Structure 1
Amino acid sequence: MTITNQKTAPNGIDTQALQDTLDAVRKQPELAQVTFGIDCEWLGGCHQRSTTADVVQNGAPVRTTRFTMESDEPEALLGTDHAPNPGEYVLQALAGCYAATFAAQATVRGIELETLRLEMETDFDLQGFLGIDQRVRPGAQAIRVVVHATASNASGEDLQALVEAVEAHSPIRDTLANPVPVTTTLAR
């Protein structure tokens, strides 16, 4: 993933909108409560299609536009290879969140990113998914991210501090790095 800053606002972030958001959430912490959702339909085998639901902030919809996503698995992993697999979507979710967090955190710090590229990989051990070895967790074994960032108004130390701020404040990284309650209910 490569992002090149071509907007007139630093990092493509409207600094006044960022400040207004910070001020609003400080005054009304309930505005920080946001819910995302999808509705997923199985298409057979490992192939599925999801449609986004409303994005809700503090109980009110703030985006009602719908987007469609599909996932599948490569043939070697029992799929038909019609779409990216869920593991790639996990990396995409992290990449998207990192990009947004880099832009916002850089703007707060006065760093004007010229480029940002993220190389990402994740490893799975299929023994857990297939139930072959109960000692092997079915989830990702590791996620690796290499950040390539340039900013002529920032030193290497500034960029390293930015990377650390992104790690500390990325919601998706936090979701992946820390246990999150997941409740699965059969509708009847």
Structure 2
Amino acid sequence: MNGIDTEALSATLDAVGRDPGLADVTFGLESEWLDGCHQRASTTDLRQNGEVVETHTTRYTMESDEPAALLGTDKAASPAEYVLQALAGCYAVTFAANAAARGIELDSLRLDMRADLDLHGFLGLDESVRPGVQEVRVDVHATSSNSSREQLQELTDAVQQRSPIRDTLASAVTVKTILVGG
């Protein structure tokens, strides 16, 4: 349902219930600065319960840059757009899986997303302004032929509570940055 293998979803729930360590997942990325605002990154091993997931062998390469208006050369999506993409991807997974678990057949799902930044913080022009995103707005356009608007609203509320990337953006997260070598 919704492209989600409900048997696999049930098996995953059972497996994590029996072995809570399976809930511990670590994603990795290696990034290299190319020039100016341009960088290239590649995904690395996926770890579950401290062990490399051997079936996760595909590696992806991503590049980012900034628009020319923001000191870049517009060779790739900006980091802020990647943040929105990360949230959109996580929302899509969370919507599809939670809808399937509730018996909701999604006919369509579209997310219109905006992230507002105030460059005063990034540029060091006003120390009272955070350098990060000030607000993220998401308009959800979801349709289902077997569910009411109320059920879709309950689903949307559940997605906000269960989306790992939304939680990451909305909650304080420890980020450790360590200079290695130099």
TM-score, length of structure 1 as denominator length: 0.94
Q: How far, CA to CA, are the matches of 1:136 and 1:108 in structure 2?
A: 42
Please, which of 48, 51, 61 is the counterpart of residue 52 of structure 2?
Answer: 61
Structure 2 CA distance, aligned partners of 1:61 and 1:156?
A: 42
CA offsets 1:76-101 (integer angstroms, 9 cap, x no match): 10000000000000000000000000
Distance 2:155 2:7 in 1: 21
The corresponding residue for 1:50 is 41
> Displacement, 1:64?
2.5
Offset of residue 48 of structure 1? 0.1
Matched, 1:102 2:118: no
Match of 2:32 in 1: 41
In the aligned structure 2, how far is the partner of 1:178 from the partner of 1:15?
30
Deviations 1:109-135 (A, max 9, x none): 000001000000000000000000000
Q: Which amino acid aligns with 1:19?
A: S
Q: Which runs of 4+ in 1 moved over 4 A?
A: none
Cα deviations by residue, 1:128-180 (Å, 9 ceiling, x for unpaired): 00000000000001000000001111000000000000000000000000000
2:107 is equivalent to residue 114 of structure 1: yes
TM-score (norm 2): 0.97
1:160 counterpart SS class: helix
**Aligned match of 1:74:** 67
1:54/1:65 contact within 8 Å kept: no
Aligned to 1:142: 135
Query: Gapped runs of 5+ residues in structure 1?
Result: 1-9
Please give the alpha-carbon distance, in whole angstroms, between the structure 2 residues aligned to 1:57 and 1:151.
Answer: 34
Specify every segment of 5 or more residues in structure 2 that has no aligned partner in the other structure, as ranges: none
Residue 23 of structure 1 corresponds to 14
Corresponding residue of 1:172: 165
Which amino acid is the alignment partner of residue 174 of structure 2? P
